[in-house]
Amino acid sequence: EAQVTQNPRYLITVTGKKLTVTCSQNMNHEYMSWYRQDPGLGLRQIYYSMNVEVTDKGDVPEGYKVSRKEKRNFPLILESPSPNQTSLYFCASSTIRDRLPEAFFGQGTRLTVV
Amino acid sequence: GQNIDQPTEMTATEGAIVQINCTYQTSGFNGLFWYQQHAGEAPTFLSYNVLDGLEEKGRFSSFLSRSKGYSYLLLKELQMKDSASYLCAVKNYGQNFVFGPGTRLSVLP
């Protein structure tokens, strides 16, 4: 089954403790992206990647890091989480070719930083 | 810059028809997408337009005018389960997705 898998689904952590949210897709997609969603603000892009070793900042990259060492994986790293990073996070992937061009989303990760 | 606009909220009655508008200004265009998102859940794909005109999929239709930078999503025979947010997104020349703020639709009995 074609899917984007995020882990964990829920995470409560403390300020300053490094964490990684994993994202993996099994559709051989070139494009992957991370978003955060806060009440009333819609999806805001954090980082995106067009292929292995190619990453670009989105609209809200501060406090986040990403890497794209393999095509299927695109982890989101919070080196020193702060309470303002409490949010619902989504990973998405898509092909850059015409067939099935839509973005496929992971189930989401609800992060709470206390 | 890149900008996508949608109404923040809409309300409609069960069984009625509702049209959700989207206007966009992006760096290039490689398609316009509509997604449905229920609270706390992932967005799910509804429709895709890359050429001008209407695409119909059951109770949902989407229209695109590239010259006007305009699209709409039409929902017919509204059901209570259609209460959700509807997101308009454009894939730009760089193949990156730009999302609008979403329209929260409430369907009343």
| Interchain contact, B31 vs A101, CB within 8 Å | yes
- Which pLDDT score, from 0 to 100, does residue A40 have? 80
Examine the pLDDT at B107 and tell me if it is beyond 80.
Answer: yes
- Whether B2 contacts chain A with CB within 8 A: no
| Interchain contact, B96 vs A103, CB within 8 Å | no
Instruction: Compute the nearest-CA separation of B35 from chain A (Å).
Output: 10
Which residue in chain B is spatially nearest to A47 when comparing CA positions? B96
Q: pLDDT tens digit string along B26-59?
A: 888 999 999 999 999 999 999 999 999 999 999 9
Chain B positions touching A48 (Cβ under 8 A) are 96
Which residue in chain B is spatially nearest to A41 when comparing CA positions? B101
* Overall average pLDDT of the B86-92 stretch: 95
- Which pLDDT score, from 0 to 100, does residue A22 have? 98
Helix (H/G/I), strand (E/B), else coil: B81: helix
Examine the pLDDT at B25 and tell me if it is beyond 90.
Answer: yes
Lowest mean pLDDT among A13-17, A40-44, A59-63: A40-44
- Which pLDDT score, from 0 to 100, does residue B96 have? 92
* Overall average pLDDT of the A38-59 stretch: 94
Contact B7, B73 (CB under 8 A): no
Q: pLDDT tens digit string along A65-99?
A: 999 999 999 999 999 999 999 999 999 999 988 77
Please report, as a single letter, which amino acid is at residue A13: T
